[in-house]
Structure 1
Amino acid sequence: MVQFKDLNQLQRYMERGDIINTIFKDKNIEKVLAKEMSKAVRDVVYARYTPKQYIRRGDDGGLSDMRNMHITKVEVDGGKVRVLFENLTLGQTRYLPIYEHDYDSKHGQFITDIIEDGYKDSGDWYRRGVWSESRPFVQTTIERIQANPAPLINAIKSAYRKIGFEVK
């Protein structure tokens, strides 16, 4: 086991990208984040309205599907670890039979931003509605983790233990 003489030595060791990347590749950390985001999607996005022109994919490839949520980048900058966790769901509308002829302009594109920020199209009136309003599930996820950080802290501690650190 590696031992350190002081906190500066520990920080230099931790700032080596391979250690931090190893820790954040732990699937339990990603699972904690994904679980909270999935709940936020259901509460902030899906509860807002029930679609009449398409079928939501939900946990089957949709926005609340935890399989679409991943840590995509980890970096150390000035002694701080920055983790980019993203919902990588692609647009793929399942239209009800009567609307199959409609064109889905977001098919194959990431949909997180358009749902988070709202649909900013200045087009025709039929392109507006509750579905086009901002539904900030990412911000809600952040707020919920900040309000109850224990599951994430425990997952991070567990990841450190797996690579040989003694964590209290």
Structure 2
Amino acid sequence: MVRKQTLNNLVNKLKNEVIPDVLAKEVYNEVVKVESKNVQKNVYGAYSPTVYQRRGQNGGLGDPKNHVATFSYAGNMVTMAVRNITKGKDGFGYLAELVEYGHDGGYGKYDYPYSSVQEPTFLKPRPFISSTKAELERTLAHLTAMKTGMARRGIKVK
């Protein structure tokens, strides 16, 4: 009976303390780092604005502080979702989906003046979220971060 209680305690500690802590620290930081890199490449690298000044790493889409993680639990599964919560000028809605899917792509419209003769680059989708997901799937950097976090806590993971 003692062994079963000890094993149950270990499983509960992993599920309720260790894994959420690793997700909230090492994995979260890695996901945000990869997304910030993709914002730089796909969003900021697409064009240089003339109507407004970008906030970049200081309050803009590329700012790591503009991300939040949420966790959901189902049985032995813990899922983490990271969301970029950067708002537009004057508190206007969230920018992530507008930039990802473009002007009138289902997540709002830009209010900057532009000529309708030729669609400006800023109206087009600049998919930094999907490129972040693809990069994480390709590199498995989030899993490496998970293993690193577990190892820092004395748990060897294969």
Bin the TM-score by the shorter chain. Answer: 0.7 to 0.9
State the match for 1:152 in structure 2.
142
SS of equivalent residue, structure 2 residue 62: coil
Corresponding residue number in structure 2 for 1:54: 52
Q: How does 1:8-157 map to 2 (within 5 A)?
A: 13=12, 16-26=15-25, 28-70=26-68, 72-77=69-74, 79-92=76-89, 107-120=91-104, 121=109, 126=115, 129-149=120-140, 151-157=141-147
Unaligned ranges ≥5, structure 2: none
Letter in 1 for 2:142: L
RMSD: 3.2
Which runs of structure 1 show a deviation greater than 4 angstroms over 4 or more consecutive aligned residues? Answer: 12-19, 121-128
Paired residues of 1:15 and 1:79 also in contact (CA < 8 A)? no
Report Cα offsets for 1:1-46 as digits up to 9, x if no partner.
xx88xxxx79x648844443223222x2222111111111111111
Displacement, 1:167?
2.4
In the alignment of these two chains, the number of paired residues is 147
**Structure 1 CA distance for aligned equivalents of residues 23 and 96 of structure 2:** 22
Deviation of 1:113 after TM superposition, in Å, equals: 0.9
Q: What percent identity do the matched residue pairs reach?
A: 24
2:41 match: secondary structure: helix
C-alpha displacement of 1:63 = 0.8
